Structure 1
Amino acid sequence: MDVAIDISEFSYLPAQADALGVPLPQVERLTLPLADGRTLSALRFGTDAPRVTLLHGAGLNAHTWDTTALALQQPLLAIDLAGHGDSAWRDDVDYTPRTLAGDVAAALDAWATQPQIVVGQSLGGLTGAALAASRPDLVSELIIVDITPGIDVTAGPAALREFYAGPTDFASRDELVDKAMSLGFGGTRPETERGVFLNTRVRADGRVEWKHHFAHLAAQALAAHDPGSAAAPSVLHETGWDDLAGVRAPVTLVRAARGFVSETDADELQRRVPAARLVVLDATHNVQETAPVPLAALIDSTSPARGI
């Protein structure tokens, strides 16, 4: 008798929930047609109306939040930003926070029934600030994870640039896992395999490619000998300070002790947004992956509602 093996995007969740000692909620993939013909995709955890919306960083996707979402045990949305995950790429390559925030607003208008605790990491944090400033009716609280306006995180360390600026298609996911581990990314091989599986797709010709647009743009820029162009789309040209100044919801900055936001950066945000709260977690830049339980506890502490 053949044994069916679950190789869907949700196949890792049962083991993750078991490791946390929490029940596995219902999780489903949502797709929203947008006015310009693109589609936006998201994961919905739980069956009740979402109270929390999670926005990932550049080069990631909604699944980066899986462990945090399971630990949180709240009904929530984890959105694939444009050009990432299962959301469509933009022909104009405009992945600035204000543009991305427009898509998120459309998603919340369609899928949410109440103002959200918006948690954004890196590019997602700047997108959350733009959303809260432009659509205050959609945001009850803003939690920004390891980013402040003006920090260049899209270039990343040299090894990360090499990782994404190389070939954009591969013979197998194993090839990608080997490359990631050779450059020092990921933890154990199973953890790296999970990350690669959830951030790639198999094309009709059998080749494996990254889902997110940024890797393809980085490779194009490298081929054109212009690493400063498409490798770091115009995210860097928008400071975001004006957006943060326009946020009326409570703001929390989560600084990763081993991340990209320095004490000086955090001080500057608190100088510009005096009412902002600062929380430091022992984590790397991707706090949702390296400190998911403390981050979930922080998010949970902002909401009086419990249960998924």
Structure 2
Amino acid sequence: MVVATETSEFSYLPHQAQALNVPVPPVERVVLRLADGRELSALRFGDAPPVVTLLHGAGLNAHTWDTTALLLQQPALLIDLAGHGDSSWRDDLDYSPRTLARDVIFALENWTIEPQVLVGQSLGGLTAAAVASARPDLVRELITVDITPGLDTSAGPAALREFYAGPTDFASRDELVDRAMSFGLGGSRADTERGVFFNSRIRADGRVEWKHHFAHLAAQAMAPAGASSTAPDGAAAPILDATGWDDLTNAEAPITLVRATSGFVSEADGDEMLRRVPAAHVIAVDASHNVQETAPRELADLIRAVAHSPA
């Protein structure tokens, strides 16, 4: 079982589980060394081989799925994509879905023993589609959450880029929480404190900085004219281009699109998915873009139903 302490990344789970009236499964952090020397990190829920793998969106990390994973009560693998959480940053700044998919494929080859119900939200959804297209043997079902290829997500990321364009390090996590809440990000202060805890780290000098690479790239990209910057134009945002349609149409696994009614994917976008991938299912959920946080029970029920369906 998880040992919860004040400094443990799993210290929030017992309280979450109690509120949800579910048991806390065994949870551990696992790490893979990649061929180029980077590390890929993930959380493994349950003591059996994973049947569900979850991929988060840009600027998030594996812990965004904690509530969903607790409600699932299924063996699950929650991966920190490159440049996020405890996974290494990429020196080439390439966080496009097909590049991220190569790490995920390696993870599935090493951490799973059967085709997965592969669930990806936002950037994770396009990454999941790339995995399903390249390695159909690894994916039993594909669930993409509030994303379609070529979707204009500029409104959401624009607000986040403004938020991340400020300081990249802070005197304390409380200072960072205050900044997030001043931008209207997060929900209650407790929820924001939890999110900041998982998305930040304390440096050797005692300063607190964001874990994910995008925050640092955003700050560099929006630096004043003449300031030094190593980030190319647009590096602060992931590449969400239309090439993902090829991945979806080439995927052999059944596909479900979960559309958040207050998210980025419109009803017209859902219709476009059905036009391009007629066999897909589109399900609307009353939630905002981060469905795994704003409607975790509905999402968990959907995933569980797929996981329990005949292969």
Q: Is 1:118 equivalent to 2:122 in the alignment?
A: no
1: CA distance, partners of 2:214 / 2:53: 23
Q: 1:253 aligns with which of 240, 254, 257?
A: 257
2: CA distance, partners of 1:265 / 1:224: 36
Residue equivalent to 1:239: 243
2: CA distance, partners of 1:15 / 1:154: 35
5+ residue gaps, structure 2 = 226-230
- Structure 2 counterpart of 1:50, which letter? P
Q: Which piece of structure 1 moves more, 116-125 or 216-225?
A: 216-225
Residue equivalent to 2:10: 10
Q: Is 1:267 equivalent to 2:271 in the alignment?
A: yes
Distance 1:155 1:41, change over 3 A: farther
- Structure 2 counterpart of 1:206, which letter? G
2: CA distance, partners of 1:98 / 1:224: 32
Residue equivalent to 2:228: none
Q: Is 1:21 equivalent to 2:7 in the alignment?
A: no
Q: What is the CA deviation profile of residues 198-225 of structure 1, one whole-angstrom value per residue up to 9, with x for unaligned ones?
A: 0000000111010000000011101165
Cα offset, 1:159, TM superposition: 3.3
- Structure 2 counterpart of 1:103, which letter? D
2: CA distance, partners of 1:154 / 1:69: 29
Aligned partner of residue 286 in structure 2, secondary structure: strand
- Structure 2 counterpart of 1:294, which letter? E
Cα offset, 1:60, TM superposition: 0.1
Residue equivalent to 1:148: 148
- Structure 2 counterpart of 1:251, which letter? I
Q: What is the CA deviation profile of residues 26-63 of structure 1, one whole-angstrom value per residue up to 9, with x for unaligned ones?
A: 00000000011100000000000000000000000000
Q: How does 1:10-89 map to 2 (within 5 A)?
A: 10-89=10-89
Q: Is 1:283 equivalent to 2:287 in the alignment?
A: yes
- Structure 2 counterpart of 1:16, which letter? Q
Q: Is 1:230 equivalent to 2:253 in the alignment?
A: no
| Aligned CA-pair RMSD | 1.7
Q: What is the CA deviation profile of residues 90-132 of structure 1, one whole-angstrom value per residue up to 9, with x for unaligned ones?
A: 0000101001000000001000000000000000000000000
1: CA distance, partners of 2:224 / 2:257: 37
Residue equivalent to 1:207: 207
Cα offset, 1:165, TM superposition: 1.4
Q: 1:300 aligns with which of 284, 288, 304?
A: 304
Residue equivalent to 2:139: 139
CA contact (8 A) 1:125 1:145 kept: yes
CA contact (8 A) 2:60 2:85 kept: yes
Residue equivalent to 1:190: 190
If the length of structure 1 is used for normalisation, what is the TM-score?
0.95
**Paired residue total:** 302
2: CA distance, partners of 1:279 / 1:304: 18
Aligned partner of residue 114 in structure 1, secondary structure: coil
Q: Which piece of structure 1 moves more, 154-163 or 279-288?
A: 154-163
2: CA distance, partners of 1:14 / 1:8: 12
Aligned partner of residue 93 in structure 1, secondary structure: coil
